Amino acid sequence: MAAPTPPRTRRPPGLYRLARALRRVSVVIVVLLLLFLATVGYSAFELVRSSPQQSGGYSAGFDSNDTISVTGSLSVSNPGWYPLSGFTLSLRILNASGVYLGEVSDGPVTLAAGATTSVPIALYLPVAANGAAESLLVQNQYLDLGVWGNATYAYLFPVSVHFDQNKSWGAPFSDFSVSVGTPSVANGSTTVPVTISYSNDASFAEAGSLGMTVRSSGGTACGGATYPLNVAPQSFYYETRNVTLATGCSIAGGSVVAVYSGNGVNLALPPEPLP
């Protein structure tokens, strides 16, 4: 009696094994992508929950080069599992009329997973005479603050966030006005009382002096006076000085030019016309 023949066995053919391997690779990629997406979704949710926080508040003040500086910092934390790379932050300010005042950009910085960083913000607004932001000196207004944030999250996703905010601005010489009293003549000299008034609606104090020059309608300096300043924030200022006019100098239809000196700056205020 013949012995039973053992079953003939063999490996799957090469083409079959190749096709099977390719299909398995595609399945592995699907699984990895789904896991990646799930963890990115969770991390992004955590990141959104811990939205950037303003740290320590903003401070404003007079600065060099006839500017007002607004400085502060933004604390950004990344509690997720993936890095936030190439993070840049840009701020742009327009005044109430839509005139461009200035902008600032920070970055790029890379924020590792679980890390927190502080992004400094320093914005310098040119308030020199005839500068774009001159009105910030004397006029309270709402500023249009545009904020742009750009970054790449989790290696693959470029993200851009933009929003606009209205911020109220309190002018350091709000409602600045000059009034001239009745001239008096004594010993051949003409003297006029000149009253300066304004409200310091800014968040910072003014310490120094205000040098005031009275000009004729032709622009000739007729006289001047210095007003000492020590005005706390949210305070009103009202001061009168007698100004002796140069002989023959008429101030009718002229103007008053005031220059603030203090806090390390010399800053000309917008000229005030005289009646």
Partner 1 sequence: MIDSATAPAPPPPVEVGAYSVPGLGYRILAGGARLIPLLILLVGLPVAALTFLQSHGISLPVPILTVEVAGVLISVLSTARYIVKPTAAYGPVSVATSAVTIAYLLVLLAQASYTLGVPGSSVGISVGYARLLELALLVPTFALVAGLVTTVEDLASPKERLPFDYPA
- The residue ranges that bind partner 1 (CB under 8 A) are 7-10, 12-13, 15-16, 18-20, 22-23, 25-26, 29-30, 33, 37, 155-165
Nearer to partner 1, 32 or 99 (CB): 32
Q: 227 with 212: CB under 8 angstroms?
A: yes
Nearer to partner 1, 108 or 181 (CB): 108
Q: Residues with Cβ < 8 Å from 184, sequence gap 6 or more? A: 190, 191, 192
Nearer to partner 1, 20 or 242 (CB): 20
Nearer to partner 1, 51 or 97 (CB): 51
Cα separation of the two ends of the chain: 136
Q: Least distance in Å: CB of 117 to partner 1?
A: 21
Q: Residues with Cβ < 8 Å from 135, sequence gap 6 or more? A: 95, 141, 171, 270
Q: Least distance in Å: CB of 96 to partner 1?
A: 16
Q: Least distance in Å: CB of 181 to partner 1?
A: 49
Nearer to partner 1, 56 or 108 (CB): 108
Q: Least distance in Å: CB of 2 to partner 1?
A: 19
Q: Least distance in Å: CB of 82 to partner 1?
A: 13
Nearer to partner 1, 158 or 253 (CB): 158
What does 107-162 look like in DSSP terms, one character per residue? EEEEE-TT-EEEEEEEEEEE-STT-TTGGGGT--EEEEEEEEEEEEETTTEEEEEE
Amino acid type, 231: V
Give long-range contacts, CB 8 A cutoff, 24+ apart: 252-256: 252/217, 253/216, 253/217, 254/214, 254/215, 254/216, 254/217, 254/222, 255/214, 255/215, 255/217, 256/178, 256/194, 256/212, 256/213, 256/214, 256/215
Nearer to partner 1, 156 or 207 (CB): 156
Q: Least distance in Å: CB of 52 to partner 1?
A: 13
Q: Least distance in Å: CB of 152 to partner 1?
A: 9
Give the span between the Cα atoms of 98 and 20, in whole angstroms.
64
Give the span between the Cα atoms of 240 and 194, in whole angstroms.
5
Nearer to partner 1, 165 or 184 (CB): 165
User: Closest by alpha carbon to 60, among 93, 32, 33, 105?
Assistant: 93
Q: Least distance in Å: CB of 84 to partner 1?
A: 13
